[in-house]
Amino acid sequence: MGGVGYPTPRAPHRVALTITLMRVPQLRLALNQIDSRVGDLVGNTETILRWTRHSAEQGAHLVAFPEMALTGYPVEDLALRSSFVEASRTALRELAVRLADEGFGELPVVVGFLDRSESDRPKFGRPPGSPRNAAAVLHNGEVILTFAKHHLPNYGVFDEFRYFVPGDTLPVLRVRGVDVALAICEDLWQDGGRVPAARSAEAGLLLSINASPYERDKDDTRLELVRKRAQEAGCTTAYLAMIGGQDELVFDGDSIVVDRDGEVVARAPQFSEGCVVLDLDLPAASADAPTGVVDDGLRIDRVVVSQDPVPAYEPELSGGYAERLDDAEEIYSALVVGLRAYVAKNGFRSVLIGLSGGIDSALVAAIACDALGAQNVYGVSMPSKYSSEHSKGDAAELARRTGLNFRTVPIEPMFDAYMGSLGLTGLAEENLQSRLRGTLLMAVSNQEGHIVLAPGNKSELAVGYSTLYGDSVGAYGPIKDVYKTWIFRLAEWRTRAAAERGQTPPIPENSISKPPSAELRPGQVDTDSLPDYPVLDAILELYVDRDQGADAIVAAGYDRELVVKTLRMVDTAEYKRRQYPPGTKISAKGFGKDRRLPITNGWRESV
């Protein structure tokens, strides 16, 4: 658009009109989708410095990092430790100084950290010390703005009412002539609060920093959420996410930017660390922008960094759009990232797996090799007199295909010694084999320094089809939250993916095609004790993941006797699950912090 001049009819002379048009401000935004380690303030600081340097090299005008990037997320009860809170606050101030010392002082940087309220008083129901899940804007060597998450999640794996006090402001940062409203994660997931407040404040951009854990199909939910919130806020909305793993949680990235109409402007890759840099045309901040209290009682806290827009330039960076992974590749990637993070962040180097020739241990081995490299994966075949020749052969073939370190240690001599002393029969005899294998694995672990990976899947853990101190032995359970039907799908996907890349599939076809069996007695198969896995998993998903009762599950089309039997197995196995190691969470409700049921429990679903 330019100036307009036009003739006036029947006028004795022509009037020239000059219209001065306001130029739309431009902003180059850098969203750093990074990994943090809980408690590692030094390491996380270095990561933030490195990616700020990269953002500056790309010509960014505003740089952002995820929720609690400085401390890692979730910090859990570390939030209640005043020494850690103060260390976080100190590290933030030091980070601001270092950014300025390295020449980035003029570049505003948004970073999440652990703070505390300066004004809250001790109060019943409030966390002692009033910690805050907070973020800050760093500029010219100083912390020029801080704010705390307004909506605190208290469901699933989240306990933020236990740890934090909520924020009561709408932070607005004026940078390069644009008003940028700031939010933290749950502020977008819940209705009200900072989203409508951003509209009331006439913000040109809503920037939300997040540490949103991965769940299957969550990427679709997340996209629709961001689209909806952008329309409600009436402005372009940027959703910056974390990647990596922390204990059982995985963070998948998938940062998203949409315009005010909900159209996607940029979308980052899943499970990949990196920086999304994009040029945005945004509305100019108003000279008489609203002040005071707006929606949900939030008080606008506006800080001006730079009033004047940048000189006009030709936009060069669009941010791009990363293609989505299909369901199987997405879940497999989450399992690889979760295991890799657990091993690396806890200072381990190698893992040990009992290889039975079955599909569970084969899939765990494939995940481990992809996560850590085959040279850091050790497998042990521990055949008994009931182990089939094909199972022993399948374990050896898996090792050959992947290149992992492999040995065979028969357990029959140990088994015979126990049996000679105890004379066990039936289930006790079967479980003895599993426990001997667990003891053997832990002995090798102690001797050689590997951590043991437990191969149990969600179906088995749900119904107690595992042996305490046997196949439950381990430091981490990579497939703990994966139902058996998905075990097969993931193994099949990994096979196809290898073939498409011209590689040798890591899992032998026989491990996928043969009927699952623990091989603890002659001719044993899983269906001797359990329903067919597709039926079992469907019932379990309704009961475990969706908290449906027996009547509702029967109404969904399942046999009542089978439903009641299955639910009873689930209920009575709670004590076993409590003793199982942590493992990567991929579902809406895994066996961990987001499913908390009493072990001593007299309630049973109706018969």
Helix, coil or strand: residue 399: helix
Residues 255 and 240: beta-carbon distance below 8 Å: yes
Token digits of residue 150? 């307004």
Q: Answer whether the bond into residue 131 is a cis peptide, omega within 30°.
A: no
Range 134-155 burial, b when 16+ CB lie within 10 A, else e? bbbbbbebebbbbbbbbbbbee
SS (H, E, C) 192-212: CCHHHHHHHCCCCEEEEECCC
Q: Which residues contact 420 (CB under 8 A, 6 or more apart)?
A: none
Q: How far is CA 133 from CA 87, 151, 209, 571, in A?
A: 14, 10, 11, 36
Residues 411, 412, 417: CA angle, nearest 5 degrees: 105
Query: Please, what is the angle between helix 359-372 and helix 484-500, to 10°?
Result: 50
Helices (H), 37-126: 41-57, 82-101
Which of 86, 82, 180, 167 has the alpha carbon at shortest distance from 137? 180
CA torsion through residues 560, 566, 568, 571, sign: negative
Q: What is the C-alpha separation between 356 and 511, in angstroms, rounded?
A: 10
Backbone angles phi, psi at 321, to 5 degrees: -135, 110
Query: Please, what is the angle between helix 533-540 and helix 560-572, to 10°?
Result: 70
DSSP classification of residue 527: G
Q: How far is CA 481 from CA 217, 232, 363, 530, 588, in A?
A: 15, 35, 13, 18, 10
Classify strands 249-252 and 243-246 as parallel, antiparallel or unpaired.
Answer: antiparallel
**What residues act catalytically?**
67, 149, 185
Q: What is the C-alpha separation between 269 and 218, in angstroms, rounded?
A: 14
Q: What is the C-alpha separation between 270 and 481, in angstroms, rounded?
A: 20
Q: What is the C-alpha separation between 298 and 289, in angstroms, rounded?
A: 15
